[in-house]
Structure 1
């Protein structure tokens, strides 16, 4: 399986599209200057204790208070609190966790009022980003994630990913980490560490420890609420988690971001640095690589997937519902049960893709086409498990009921990706009425005249729907050529498939849009 990463960088956001075998499977957006990402560590202040929930509301600087449950504080909460007080002290000269004496673990069955009080400063980490009307969800079991390892301060445990099947390799990695880890640090060995040498793991471990120990200096000058350790940007974090040797290319439309990604790739796979390329084409990067078209086809309430079959996807505050429909799909001479099985097997693969693509979390209920055979229901269940094997998000799949309903629970750590595929007509602005089409070229001519005469632009690029582009450029005496001779300026007309019929945009010689 080949994988490609297409990254669209704009002043307001970075959009990352992951393609597997040229098919869009993940789409993530990161707003410029975005805060409260999963993994960020904050010095926060306890705002309100909720004994009935055995939890507390915490001020991390977000508009709504974050939520911390007692069970998410972690057994080493007392030691973490002690560390925070020592590190925040102006007289502190301690620069290593090994010099801090550990306190006993907090009681598993304890109450939040026993360890927290309003106004108290604590160290917390974002476990879930703000979603809908809810603020961030927090944990005090801090962790610093790397490519091969996850560092767990204040812990002494070493655990190895269950996805590593070889018992011999698990034992090797566990012994290796136990021999190199510093005191007061636990480590989780990730799946990609399989087969890695001690030098590479030791280098990464030292880098993660150094990253965490910057908190000693930051806590001295920080005032709650304040960001203490920031997770790397979403682009690099995604690469850290999903990069595999099967990556064919990573294509970015920004040279500076491409250099940053190339530098990161060089640290984890030096021989793959050359797969990072800068896109310099005139078309928008997502349009050139066909991402825009896949986005329009994959989002929305109805999604077609095979031979006329389609999914209907509905969202509620409580859960998501997906209905499988065979549409007009039918095969002569094939009984209903076989036909239903074929549609359901194909639907399982598309549902798995949709869950990753939209990052749907919580409870998902799928209504498959009715099948009477228990063996056929088991086949659909197995296909779903196989299709979701590449999904990194924690999930649990239950077998189909006799009514062919399947329930999936999938961890939700950030808001669901939503793309509105229905567009308001840019010509009529939703009114249902447009100017006479015979006057459309007159409007364009008027604006071209204004751009050259009043704004004194040296050249011009006009982007329109391909049909309009063909009309403007057809023949020897085309409208485009008449404009060029009239103003003695260079004019380029480009067709953009994503535009609606009468939509148009003007760009100057620096390819910056001219707002009229």
Structure 2
């Protein structure tokens, strides 16, 4: 099996590819992200639910923190109520543990932790832990002894599963980097005015290498020599890893996200309908409460036995659904309506096949049950925003049509209309501005497009546009 990682550092996007098919997309955004550290201000306190809302910046949604997520520094004194822990307008150091959704702000904690590829540093926990999945007793004893020697006083340390068989010098160097990060955060607290962002890991290369790189990766393709240098610095310390992985700098004229079909994958993943080559159709509808997936046989027909045809169609659909859950990063409660089967044996074989497909998913999907109505219910752990949430239109289409109009306009009128919409909608919505820009550019004559691009950048949106160029507004509005 050929496994690749494609990294476009310019666009802050990466793709995990297996057998020439994109399995997962990784983004870096300038909005709230997991592990971001803020100095916030307590804005509201709700004693009925023992929770508080913390203002993280002056323009975005406030974060939510429950009393259970507040670290108690005095373990001898019980503080089971929110008013015993925080006060109104109090400054508080928090970290995001769950990204916001369309209607909810980010989930917060005061139990700060700094994560590396092999270690996790916990400034407010004076403990030492080894990952439970490290079952080898010799390896466990080695890491525990090393942890006792290198653990900083009054700080906590966790050895991740990836630390298995890693040289002590590499682990010590990573701990030094994590300590340096914590010292930087402490110094930033002295003069900064709350609310404010203190620390964010916005390096797409580091994120991809730490979360997705393993000895199974055959090739890493990057878009520049600087990116290749960063990759080498992150994985080059292990000669065995580097010898198994080919590091390539992409030098062709064709854009890297076009060459590896990343834009096409994004565009297709935003469509609710999936039609397989066999003719089987799958419909995916995402709502705030759950995700509903419906399977239709379509034009698929390969057997004279109706039940055998249905079973084969369901198995092909299950394979595609397992793939789409990873690609679209769908999380929460998921209900799948497969084609009805009469045979109990076929139902059990389908569940067994589906369970096998979900084993490789790092978000740990769990099949709950096959209901009496024939619906398969499962849950999938949230790992950041879904692809639909990242690319969702955040403004009423009727107002866009009213402002832009459907007739041809001069470039000056289009610029004015764009600024009017920007004032109304785009101070908070990054993705929407990209999609509108695509529509805006389609209305401008080719001789004026250079000027239009310049004016677009002049208005403050100095951002990689190619990422969403395949999202045609005419298909959405």
TM-score class normalised by the smaller sequence: 0.7 to 0.9
Partner of 1:312: helix, strand, or coil? strand
Partner of 2:387: helix, strand, or coil? coil
Structure 1: distance between partners of 2:168 and 2:324: 39
Structure 1: distance between partners of 2:386 and 2:372: 30
Partner of 1:241: helix, strand, or coil? helix
Structure 1: distance between partners of 2:21 and 2:291: 23
Aligned to 1:230: 200
1:55 aligns to 2:51 (yes or no): yes
Structure 2: distance between partners of 1:305 and 1:162: 40
Match of 1:307 among 278, 289, 295: 278
**How many corresponding residue pairs?**
405
CA, structure 1 residues 362+113, in 2 after alignment: closer, same or farther (shift >3 Å)? same
Match of 1:321 among 281, 286, 292: 292
Q: Indicate if the aligned counterparts of 2:364 and 2:381 stay in contact, CA closer than 8 A.
A: yes
Structure 2: distance between partners of 1:351 and 1:105: 50
Aligned to 1:189: 159
CA-CA distance at 1:243 after TM superposition: 0.3
Aligned to 2:67: 70
TM-score normalised to structure 2 length: 0.75
CA, structure 1 residues 253+234, in 2 after alignment: closer, same or farther (shift >3 Å)? closer
Structure 2: distance between partners of 1:58 and 1:358: 30
CA-CA distance at 1:352 after TM superposition: 1.9
Aligned to 1:4: 4
Match of 1:24 among 22, 25, 38: 22
Pick the structure with more helix per residue.
2
Aligned to 1:508: none
Q: Indicate if the aligned counterparts of 1:302 and 1:312 stay in contact, CA closer than 8 A.
A: yes
Aligned to 2:33: 37
Q: Indicate if the aligned counterparts of 1:146 and 1:208 stay in contact, CA closer than 8 A.
A: yes
Which stretches in structure 2 are left out of the alignment for 5+ residues? 398-403, 409-444, 452-469, 473-477
Aligned to 2:475: none
Q: Indicate if the aligned counterparts of 2:100 and 2:107 stay in contact, CA closer than 8 A.
A: yes
CA-CA distance at 1:252 after TM superposition: 2.5
CA, structure 1 residues 350+169, in 2 after alignment: closer, same or farther (shift >3 Å)? farther
CA-CA distance at 1:413 after TM superposition: 4.8
Q: Indicate if the aligned counterparts of 1:28 and 1:417 stay in contact, CA closer than 8 A.
A: no
C-alpha deviations, 1:231-282, integer Å up to 9, x for none?
2423321221110122222222344334333332324568628733322222
CA, structure 1 residues 229+8, in 2 after alignment: closer, same or farther (shift >3 Å)? closer
Partner of 2:96: helix, strand, or coil? strand
Aligned to 1:342: 312
C-alpha deviations, 1:131-174, integer Å up to 9, x for none?
21322211112111111122222224433334445455445434
CA, structure 1 residues 277+377, in 2 after alignment: closer, same or farther (shift >3 Å)? same
Structure 2: distance between partners of 1:301 and 1:107: 50
CA, structure 1 residues 190+382, in 2 after alignment: closer, same or farther (shift >3 Å)? farther
C-alpha deviations, 1:93-143, integer Å up to 9, x for none?
xxxxxxxxxx326647x1101111011111100112232132221111211
Q: Indicate if the aligned counterparts of 1:212 and 1:229 stay in contact, CA closer than 8 A.
A: no
Structure 2: distance between partners of 1:180 and 1:212: 16
CA, structure 1 residues 164+300, in 2 after alignment: closer, same or farther (shift >3 Å)? farther
Residue pairs, 1:71-150, within 5 angstroms = 71-73=68-70, 77-79=71-73, 103-104=74-75, 107=78, 110-150=80-120
Aligned to 1:442: none
Name whichever of 196-205 and 312-321 sits farther off: 196-205
CA-CA distance at 1:379 after TM superposition: 3.1
CA, structure 1 residues 114+395, in 2 after alignment: closer, same or farther (shift >3 Å)? farther
Give the structure with higher Rg (CA): 1
